[in-house]
Amino acid sequence: MKLKTVIKNVLLGSVAGLAMVGTAAAADLPVKAKAAEYVKICSTYGAGFYYIPGSDTCLKIGGFVQTDYYYQDYSYLDSYDYQDSYFLARGALRVDARTQTEYGTLRSYFEYRLTYGGSGSDFSESTGSNLDKAYIQFAGFTFGKVQSFFDYYADNNIWGIDSIAISSDTNAIVAAYTADFGNGFTATISVEDDSARAQGVDFDPNGGNTESDIPALVGNINYEGEWGGFQVSGMVRQLDSDYYGWSSGDDVGWAVLGGVKFNLPTFGEGDTLYIEANYADGAPNYTGINGGYSSIDQVYDLYYNPVSGQLEAAKAWTIAAELTHFFSPNVYGVVFGNYGEADLPTNTTMPSYNLFNVGGSLNWTPVKGLLFVAQYTYGETSYDSPVLDGKGDLTSNSDNNQVLLSVRRTF
């Protein structure tokens, strides 16, 4: 009996052990994992966009890295006032997010830049940051920092971190609405903060800017077609100054622009010609007249006339042009130039003047996303009466030369 009992107990223990082993083995079996969400290409808005996992928003991330090497020569400055040569480096991050809605595309975009180096008149080197653009677009509306809707040509292919501007070319914080009439025609009305364009009065070159209780009002009509396009723009802004209790004889500043672009397929694929003219009364910075290298070329919105005892508006106009020609798919050249005149009120410390700038560049793209640029610019300013230059001498004419070598990698 005892032997039977022992055998029985051994058999029961073996069965129990096998059951426990089976349970443990079952517990170790792999559980079916949740399917991973792979990044999907979004072809709706062009190359480079992909869907953010778990959403219907398409995202594109890019940017560029650029290095500029400058040599310059100013006839109106001593060498100790500026550097003959200087270098600048810049990195930029661009983020573009778009979502399709029942009202059209909802878009948000920003470009942030970091720049290192010293300008021609600054011997020290430092890093500066700049939010170049940051805006939201929805159902025809644009909110945020973007290229001003007054601008058109905007120095299209003039190169360089520290290059000259020959036309109206400024970013501004806006609240705008664009109506699309089809067949390439659009019209925009925009309320813009034009603080970057407003200039102080002449009695204090280091003083504050012209005051404005209301922002600038900008409007344009634009057309884009196969042959090219055109734009007509206008703006008005308030001129107000309480400096020293002086009153302003001119209360409104305004500017107009007319620009046209021609696509020139007979010359080469991608060839373009821009022509643009600007006129401003009390808003000279909307013409590009302040694009000269010299600080004595600076034009203010208002000047104090000691005879009338009032602040009076300055007037200015410019005409600019640019031709881009592709010698091959990887090599293209650019020639550009402008002419402008600044008409300042009489009896002021600054005389009226005229200026011109001309330049050209050769551009090479050996591989996609990599660009080498060699650019030369010459500028000259003539004054109606002699002015004091940076050397302490009276001069009726000043000129400048700039040579730029640049490399940019875009991704």
Question: What average pLDDT does the segment 264-281 reach?
Answer: 90
Question: What average pLDDT does the segment 254-274 reach?
Answer: 91
163 pLDDT band (50/70/90 cuts)? Answer: confident
Is residue 174 within 8 Å of 142, Cβ to Cβ?
yes
Q: What pLDDT score was predicted for residue 207?
A: 43
> For the segment 57-74, what is each residue's pLDDT rounded down to a tens digit?
999 999 999 999 999 887
Residue 9 pLDDT > 60, yes or no? no
DSSP 225: -
Residue 258 pLDDT > 90, yes or no? yes
Tell me the chain's radius of gyration from C-alpha atoms: 31
Residue 7 pLDDT > 50, yes or no? no
Residue 360 pLDDT > 70, yes or no? yes
The CA distance from 21 to 13, in Å, is: 12
Is residue 283 within 8 Å of 275, Cβ to Cβ?
no
Residue 53 pLDDT > 70, yes or no? yes
Residue 15 pLDDT > 50, yes or no? no
Tell me the CA distances in angstroms from 42 to 98, 139, 314, one per residue in order: 10, 21, 51
354 pLDDT band (50/70/90 cuts)? Answer: very high
The CA distance from 147 to 150, in Å, is: 8
The residues that bridge with 127 in the sheet, in sequence order, are 116
3-state secondary structure of 79: helix
CA atoms within 13 A on the CB side of 387: 21
DSSP 153: S
Q: What angle do CA 323, 328, 333 make, to 5 degrees?
A: 30
Share of the chain above pLDDT 90, in %: 57
Question: What average pLDDT does the segment 35-62 reach?
Answer: 88
Range from 42-46, 136-140, 242-246, 334-338 carrying the lowest mean pLDDT: 242-246
Neighbour tally for 371: CB within 10 Å: 18
Residue 239 pLDDT > 90, yes or no? no
10 pLDDT band (50/70/90 cuts)? Answer: very low
Report the Cα–Cα distance between both ends of the chain, in Å, rounded: 88
Residue 402 pLDDT > 70, yes or no? yes
Range from 34-48, 216-230, 277-291, 391-405 carrying the lowest mean pLDDT: 34-48
Structure tokens that stand for 298 in this block: 């600076």
Question: What average pLDDT does the segment 263-291 reach?
Answer: 88
Higher pLDDT, residue 332 or 399:
332
Is residue 45 within 8 Å of 57, Cβ to Cβ?
no
Question: What average pLDDT does the segment 258-283 reach?
Answer: 92
Question: What average pLDDT does the segment 183-199 reach?
Answer: 92
Q: What pLDDT score was predicted for residue 303?
A: 82
Q: What pLDDT score was predicted for residue 356?
A: 93
Report the candidate in 289, 291, 373 with the shortest Cα–Cα distance to residue 333.
373
Q: What pLDDT score was predicted for residue 301?
A: 86
Question: What average pLDDT does the segment 225-237 reach?
Answer: 96
Residue 342 pLDDT > 90, yes or no? yes
Question: What average pLDDT does the segment 235-261 reach?
Answer: 81
CA atoms within 13 A on the CB side of 53: 5
3-state secondary structure of 358: strand
Residue 362 CA from chain centroid, whole number: 22
Cβ neighbours for 211, distance < 8 A, ≥ 6 positions apart:
240, 241, 242
Residue 12 pLDDT > 80, yes or no? no
The residues that bridge with 273 in the sheet, in sequence order, are 262, 323
Q: What pLDDT score was predicted for residue 80?
A: 58
Report the candidate in 240, 241, 249, 90 with the shortest Cα–Cα distance to residue 160.
90
Question: What average pLDDT does the segment 318-346 reach?
Answer: 94
Q: What pLDDT score was predicted for residue 11?
A: 46
pTM: 0.85
